[in-house]
Structure 1
């Protein structure tokens, strides 16, 4: 896994709308530093970084970066009853191809 992806994943889920503006900006710039396309393994690791909401649009950028992964994607488990909206979105757009 490339260092840019490792740094992003190491910082965990994206902050929510109540997050500090500096933190949201920092995560956005971290994400922008990851060159596309990402590998399937990187896509799978990045998929764990969604927060509870769209983080002022940063989550959509994350989703679009994940979708740059070529070839077959890693398996995505069907979302459970308590799954986040982002898990459901990934299932619909990524795991259900």
Structure 2
């Protein structure tokens, strides 16, 4: 599967920064990530979802983590494919739990 330039551009910026970063560099990184994330057209493919899933940080990054999560959920195959460990990134665990809840509701 092809990974689009916009997805690579976002991933190349690194993981989402922490909300605790009050530096000017952190603000600039946030702005760049926000613009790059919003430039990705939905839906994404499975390869893009797998690549993007490595971009979560430790917290919500002022809402960007939710935007990333919703983008990943547009892929045809829901990730992760298996239950993450208890020590996995909380956003990956959240993706898993949302998938399991959706399956239970159907």
Shift of 1:39: 0.6
Who is 1:59 aligned against? 65
So what's the TM-score if we normalise by structure 2? 0.80
**Structure possessing the higher radius of gyration over alpha carbons:** 2
So what's the TM-score if we normalise by structure 1? 0.86
Q: Which of 13, 18, 21 is equivalent to 2:20?
A: 18
Q: Which of 67, 84, 94 is equivalent to 1:79?
A: 84
In the alignment, the residues of structure 2 paired with residue 52 and residue 69 of structure 1 have an alpha-carbon distance, to the nearest angstrom, of: 23
Q: Which runs of 4+ in 1 moved over 6 A?
A: none
Shift of 1:22: 1.8
Distance 1:24 1:68, change over 3 A: same
Q: Deviations over 1:3-60 (max 9, x none)?
A: 0001111222110112322211110110000011101110111011000000000000
Who is 1:27 aligned against? 33
